[in-house]
Structure 1
């Protein structure tokens, strides 16, 4: 009999109220440390990666960190783990796709990440990357499950959330945001230096005089192997890595939507963070249920032949 990790109705209600659930355990701490020692070496082999880091169009940008679950056996299994999928389906319903994964490294001395929200993920590329159907227009964004592969502490750059902000968008993703890789990052009203991977997210504010209610922020301190699930439309950020004697903080995020959501509609490439990659080898992954739609390309195996598990 399969073990289930479905949250209680009270936990689901709390998720809808706050915008996040967790932290919760996906791996034992020592197991996570052992796995990451092994996998970080394996991931240096990009021979099966769907985006070529050395491509002249892609360059050495954040895009190279996208979707390694499409070639890595470990990450393919990770995005499908029942500890994650059972919680996601409790909110999104039985039929769910993983449409993206990303690494989020933060090294000693790195600044914090700007407060931001993501609905269609059009803020960098200029094109909506996910579009919910009209029949579900009250929803938007994606559910992100962010797993700490290393310690995420107050001084190593843990995530920060402003609970309850997922129902109101304070940013307009259709506004133009300029990529400035050499941009000098600025301090927020609490004196924290923040940036957004070469962008100034404040350029998207609907009201330029508004500022995030940071006094309501909560910190997501996590041990290796723990994860947190949250709506991408909830305001979130991260603290700086201010501990020179500690290791890199590394988070790995899987992003999930119902099968009814259109992923990369009418798009053959992703153009953001100063780079461009082709979607010719990309596909969504069905992690639970069935997909009765035909608007998303889908893959059932990694580029190295490993079959994705499914709930």
Structure 2
């Protein structure tokens, strides 16, 4: 697709994004459209016969099973290529962009919140970088576009950010966290919020063990179904627990984007994190805008079911 014709951030929005590390809301679908799309697709996704990660070979109890369903689902493939998303991402990353990962983030009634965290290389569970920017780049990370497939209110566990924290890492991702899925993290100092991190205590990665996030500066990002928030993964972020008086799940779908100069899963043929591992033999990044003049990464040009990705220009 031609980047110059896509919906782009205004100069004011770019300045705000650079200062705060996020922008929201971005309307991708009307709520009724989102509801209809998801009602149909969630049934199709139960068929994992074409998924790039085989559950039979998946070791450990891990969220990896939720990764990269855009590589077998046409609806999710069209979503990660959505003009409303790609134009805005390209406004920050430049004309040549890859989608390197997508994942679901469900939160059910009674679920705890997610701990405050940042991600630069996404080595935060194994110590092995999953994305590596060129050495001449001062900073890394990914732009995440988190789309509410259902309503995301404070009571249902919406995201929280601490604005302006995306330019300095407070965590050392070269460390390894201890996987303990039975642990319940201590109540945080920001009002006693019950939080966890997929069986880990993210605070084990803190560069300064006495450091505390400035939670008094946090903002909550409530979204209607079909709306997105775009943010740097290096921004301090978390989520509220799901405490709403409803039986409805809160479901977010995150698509992660990097420029084509970034190396994805360098020197590895498997994802190892969160108590599990999976082989990458069927994985490919998707070129969502521009050209790939680097050739660092294996690219997928269609879903495993034969839906061809839109041409990137």
Q: Same fold (TM over 0.5)?
A: yes
Q: Deviations over 1:73-107 (max 9, x none)?
A: 00011000000000000000000000000100000
Q: 1:162–1:217: 8 Å Cα contact kept in structure 2?
A: yes
Residue 59 (structure 1) shift: 4.2
Name the structure 2 match of 1:191: 192
Is 1:8 aligned with 2:25?
no
Residue 58 (structure 1) shift: 3.0
Q: Deviations over 1:204-256 (max 9, x none)?
A: 01111111100000000000000010000000000000014241000000000
Q: Deviations over 1:45-71 (max 9, x none)?
A: 10110101232x434420000000000
Using the alignment, how far apart are the partners of 1:195 and 1:285 within structure 2?
31
- The correspondence for 2:49, drawn from 47, 63, 81, is 47
Greater displacement, 119-128 / 155-164: 119-128
Is 1:167 aligned with 2:167?
yes
TM-score by length of 1: 0.97
Q: 2:23–2:231: 8 Å Cα contact kept in structure 1?
A: yes
Using the alignment, how far apart are the partners of 1:76 and 1:105 within structure 2?
19
Using the alignment, how far apart are the partners of 1:271 and 1:15 within structure 2?
31
Name the structure 2 match of 1:156: 156
Using the alignment, how far apart are the partners of 2:240 and 2:186 within structure 1?
13
Task: Provide structure 2 residue ranges, at least 5 long, that are not aligned to the other structure.
Answer: none
Q: 2:166–2:232: 8 Å Cα contact kept in structure 1?
A: yes
Using the alignment, how far apart are the partners of 2:135 and 2:204 within structure 1?
28
Using the alignment, how far apart are the partners of 1:27 and 1:138 within structure 2?
35
Q: 2:24–2:229: 8 Å Cα contact kept in structure 1?
A: yes
Q: Deviations over 1:21-66 (max 9, x none)?
A: 11110000100011111111110010110101232x4344200000
Q: 1:53–1:59: 8 Å Cα contact kept in structure 2?
A: no
Name the structure 2 match of 1:34: 36
Residue 266 (structure 1) shift: 0.3
Describe the SS at the equivalent of 2:101.
strand
Is 1:218 aligned with 2:219?
yes
Using the alignment, how far apart are the partners of 2:24 and 2:304 within structure 1?
32
Q: Deviations over 1:96-127 (max 9, x none)?
A: 00000010000000000000000000011221
Residue 5 (structure 1) shift: 1.2
Count of residue correspondences: 309
Using the alignment, how far apart are the partners of 1:275 and 1:308 within structure 2?
29
Residue 7 (structure 1) shift: 1.0
Greater displacement, 189-198 / 242-251: 242-251
Residue 184 (structure 1) shift: 1.9
Q: 2:61–2:275: 8 Å Cα contact kept in structure 1?
A: no
Q: Deviations over 1:130-183 (max 9, x none)?
A: 000012x22310000000000000100000000000001011101120111111
Name the structure 1 match of 2:253: 252
Is 1:64 aligned with 2:62?
no
List 4+ stretches of structure 1 deviating above 6 A.
none
Using the alignment, how far apart are the partners of 1:139 and 1:204 within structure 2?
18
Is 1:294 aligned with 2:292?
no
Query: How large is the RMSD of aligned CA atoms in angstroms?
Result: 1.3
Name the structure 1 match of 2:80: 79
Q: 1:54–1:60: 8 Å Cα contact kept in structure 2?
A: no
Greater displacement, 182-191 / 225-234: 182-191
